[in-house]
Amino acid sequence: MICRTRRAFSLGPASRLFLAAAVALMICALAQGQPQPKSKVVTVRSPKVINSRNQVDLTEAKAMLAAGLEALTGKKEAKAAWAVLGLKPADVVGIKINCNNWTITLSPPAELLQALTDSLAAVVPANNIIVYEASIADLESSGFKRNSSTTGVRFMGCKEGAGFDDQERLSQIATSTCTKLINFASLKCVEQGLGASLFFKNHIGSLVEKDMPKCHGNMDFLASVLAKPSLKRKTILNICNGLRGTYKQGVPWYWGGIILGQDPVAAEWVGYQIINEKREQEKTAALPGLEYLKIAESKYGLGTCTPGHVDWVKIER
Amino acid sequence: MIRGWRCYSFYSFCLIGLAMALGFLAEMSAGPRFQPELFLPKAAPAGFILAQPPEFYGTESAPLADGHIFHFIDGGGVVYLNHGFQSVVHLLYKNEKADKLTVDIFDMGTLQNARTAFADEAICPAGFAVISVGTEAKAYHFEPDFFIYFVKDRYLIYAHVADDGQSGLLIDYVKRIFKEEP
């Protein structure tokens, strides 16, 4: 009797195949019903961080960065927050900054950079942090001093020393010296069909010199910059200095904020929204379409610029 | 012995001559290092000195000693190229307090090009005050920055101080530049 019952519930090969297909279909249907995880981008603003003389408050800059990291990672302590982003004590972290002095100085203020390096120093030794730009001259033009010594945060230029990787056509600071990277851009509007100069253009200074001009007008090339294996694999954070930015070429305003995100496409899209919001206030037409961001999303899979897929967390201090 | 010494001297002389000739050729093939026709102000602003040698940038196809316009102003250079940009001289002055005063002289090829660049909002945005520096100039005050654009012959000239307390000094200097012969 028992045997008969068992036989009655046992399945033949065809039935098993049918059942497996049904289960697979159910799983697919469930997965499609699940909302896709959104790309989180955090903006932190404070009226206390910068005054109308372009002077920055270090304490407030540190507090803004801490608030941003917490919102991005869910961890209050810097050490834990950086761990979520993938930073390990033995890492060498490269911070690519944009020393932008023409016509309005948009280089990261020393205080904001210090807030970042102090926070990183909770995990890695200060000497394992390398702030770099295309050249030492660029760093010096923004008031940063070269330091290639074995103490303190290092400041290096791509042109001087490390050389370039032939395959990736990138500075070896990015490809070899550093194990993690932070893309530290500035909130800069260049117009002329190019829109804004944010995270994608920031790495122009990491490229071999011959490739730099390709970023101006060649949308596919610009979109591909952050798809270079070292930049894609090693970048743990995209952060934008928007304490003072430009909303039109050469026209600054004190936005008093920073943008943080792991998805460079989403973070860049947020940067555009911030600039366009200001342009709307000033009755200026919005910046042109985000052609290279769409290429970065669809062709290179670097993130998303689809509004519904971006989780924009706004913090006002 | 003497004969051997003479022979050695002769060959040394030849080698030195060859090295000099090769050095000269290398210098020539490195591209133009300076364009004599580029306009340079005769004197520094009062209380300031040149903080570094003048920098010269050309176009991608005709770079100068310090490279091309994208080395100088990155993507912002596109709009200048649209108006016939030829070259730019970048002058950085500093005073005792390390305050900076910048003058950039863009050779736009023709007076007409310089004027259309001056009229282009992507170069000289709205929000300026019109001042006279011997010619009509556009002055911008974005605290704490103060800068001026004006046209002189085929040149579009930009002058900037990061501390608006020195705006008077900048205007005086720009007036002096305007009076000078290119």
* B149 close to A (CB below 8 A): no
| Stretch A18-41: mean pLDDT | 63
Weakest mean pLDDT among A231-235, A282-286, B13-17, B57-61 = B13-17
Q: Do residues A81 and A300 lie in contact, with contact meaning Cβ atoms separated by under 8 Å? A: no
Confidence band of A191 (pLDDT split at 50, 70, 90): confident
What are the structural domain ranges in chain A? 40-316
Mean pLDDT (chain A) is 89
Weakest mean pLDDT among A121-130, A177-186, A288-297 = A288-297
Q: Do residues B92 and B98 lie in contact, with contact meaning Cβ atoms separated by under 8 Å? A: no
Q: Is B128 helix (H, G, I), strand (E, B) or coil?
A: coil
Nearest to B60 among A192, A193, A213 (CB): A213
CB atoms within 10 A of CB B175: 16
DSSP 3-state helix, strand, coil percentages of chain A (rounded to 5)?
A: 45, 20, 35
The pLDDT of residue B18: 56
Residues of B in contact with A213 (CB under 8 A): 60, 68, 70
Entry field: residues in chain A: 317
The pLDDT of residue B12: 56
| Stretch A289-293: mean pLDDT | 85
- Interface pTM (ipTM) of the complex? 0.78
Q: At what angle do helices A291-298 and A264-281 cross, to 10 degrees?
A: 160
| Stretch A137-148: mean pLDDT | 92
Entry field: residues in chain B: 182
Strand intervals (E) in chain A: 39-45, 93-96, 129-133, 154-157, 164-165, 170-171, 180-186, 188-189, 196-197, 235-242, 245-248, 251-253, 257-261, 310-316
Kindly determine whether residue B145 and residue A197, on different chains, have CB atoms separated by under 8 Å: no
DSSP H stretches of helix in B60-133: 69-73, 77-82, 111-119
Higher pLDDT: A250 or A74? It is: A74
Higher pLDDT: A309 or B6? It is: A309
Residues of A in contact with B122 (CB under 8 A): 191-192, 249
Kindly determine whether residue B75 and residue A197, on different chains, have CB atoms separated by under 8 Å: yes
Sheet of strand A154-157, all strands in order from the earlier edge strand to the far edge: A154-157, A129-133, A93-96, A180-186, A235-242, A257-261, A39-45, A310-316
Residues of B in contact with A104 (CB under 8 A): 142, 145
B1 Cα to chain A: minimum distance (Å): 48
Interface residues on A facing B, Cβ-Cβ cutoff 8 A: 52-54, 100, 102-105, 190-194, 197, 201, 204, 209, 212-213, 215-217, 248-252
Amino acid at B136: E
User: Hey, which of A15-24, A89-98, A102-111, B11-20 has the most confident mean pLDDT?
Assistant: A89-98
The pLDDT of residue A19: 56
Q: Do residues A117 and A82 lie in contact, with contact meaning Cβ atoms separated by under 8 Å? A: no
Q: Do residues A143 and A110 lie in contact, with contact meaning Cβ atoms separated by under 8 Å? A: yes
The pLDDT of residue A23: 58
Tokens of B135: 């010619």
Q: From the candidates B78, B89, B97, which should be mutated to test the interface with A, based on the most A CB atoms within 10 A?
A: B78
The pLDDT of residue A161: 73
Q: Do residues A97 and A107 lie in contact, with contact meaning Cβ atoms separated by under 8 Å? A: yes
Kindly determine whether residue B74 and residue A102, on different chains, have CB atoms separated by under 8 Å: yes
Q: Is B141 helix (H, G, I), strand (E, B) or coil?
A: strand
Kindly determine whether residue B143 and residue A52, on different chains, have CB atoms separated by under 8 Å: yes
Cα-Cα-Cα-Cα torsion A64, A65, A66, A72, nearest 10 degrees, comes to 110
What is the CATH code of the structural domain delimited by A40-316?
3.40.50
Instruction: State how far the Cα of A130 lies from the Cα of A128, in Å rounded to an integer.
Output: 6
Residues of chain B with pLDDT under 50: 1-2, 22-34
Tally C-beta pairs within 8 A across A and B: 68
Residues of A in contact with B143 (CB under 8 A): 52-54
CATH number (3.40.50.150, 3.30.200.100, 3.40.1160.10, 3.40.50.12500) of B34-179 reads: 3.30.200.100
* B63 close to A (CB below 8 A): no
* B128 close to A (CB below 8 A): no
Confidence band of A149 (pLDDT split at 50, 70, 90): very high
Higher pLDDT: B5 or A295? It is: A295
